[in-house]
């Protein structure tokens, strides 16, 4: 019936789904028949949630909240908002740009003083609805295109190609 973007008790945005009456019956049956099993919620090609069913959902409402997912962007995506970034601001708990750069420099076995053409951009990871740093640079004819999870510092993508002699 509707999707709403609401703050939780800590002010973090959550995504709340309210079903129609028919959806309420379907959700009740699905949860009642799968107690103790994992049930998934998806939209398009994206897995939004996978949680163990503890009890039947009798009210036809469920809320998604995950510490890394940016639900403002996901809400805009699901409601086909023209400006997907409307109301989306990076959270305060991201790793720093310097930390992200150091992760990829270490992975590339280089140091900042050897890097040329460095570009760093903080973006929404549209595959996971969370934040990532896109870090691109060149060292000794090698072009690096990298992505780092801005929450954990984990390397998402690391691609290098040699150009020149």
Helix (H, G, I), strand (E, B) or coil at 25: helix
pLDDT of 61 reads 93
pLDDT of 163 over the 80 cut:
no
pLDDT of 49 reads 85
Q: Rounded to whole angstroms, what are the CA distances from 1 to 17, 29, 61?
A: 8, 18, 10
| Whole-prediction pTM | 0.74
Kindly report, residue by residue over 57-84, the tens digit of the pLDDT: 999 999 988 877 888 888 998 888 999 9
pLDDT of 27 over the 70 cut:
yes
Going by the DSSP 8-state scheme, the letter that residue 106 receives in this structure is H
Q: Quick check: 100 and 133 in contact, CB under 8 A?
A: yes
pLDDT of 165 reads 60
Kindly report, residue by residue over 96-127, the tens digit of the pLDDT: 999 999 999 999 999 999 999 999 999 999 88
Bridge partners, residue 132, by sequence: 123, 149
The Cα–Cα gap between 148 and 123 comes to 10
Q: In the structure, what pLDDT confidence band is assigned to residue 164 with cuts at 50, 70 and 90? A: low
* Residues contacting 113, CB < 8 A, separation 6+: none
User: How high does pLDDT run on average in the chain?
Assistant: 91
Mean pLDDT of 27-56: 90
Q: Rounded to whole angstroms, what are the CA distances from 128 to 10, 54, 149?
A: 22, 25, 10
């Amino acid at each position: 019936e509707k999707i709403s973007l609401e703050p939780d008790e800590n002010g973090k945005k959550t995504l709340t789904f309210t079903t129609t009456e028919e959806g309420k019956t379907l959700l009740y049956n699905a949860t009642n028949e799968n107690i103790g099993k994992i049930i998934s919620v998806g939209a398009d090609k994206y897995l939004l949630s996978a949680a163990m069913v503890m009890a039947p959902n009798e009210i036809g409402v469920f809320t998604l909240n995950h510490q890394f997912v940016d639900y403002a962007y996901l809400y805009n995506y699901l409601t086909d908002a023209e400006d997907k970034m409307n109301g989306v601001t990076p959270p305060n708990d991201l790793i720093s740009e310097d930390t992200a750069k150091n992760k990829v420099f270490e992975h590339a076995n280089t140091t900042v003083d050897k890097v040329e053409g460095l570009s760093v951009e903080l973006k929404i990871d549209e595959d996971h609805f969370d934040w990532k740093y896109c870090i691109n640079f060149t060292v000794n004819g090698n072009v690096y295109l990298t992505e780092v999870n801005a929450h954990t510092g984990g390397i998402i993508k690391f691609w290098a190609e040699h150009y020149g002699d």
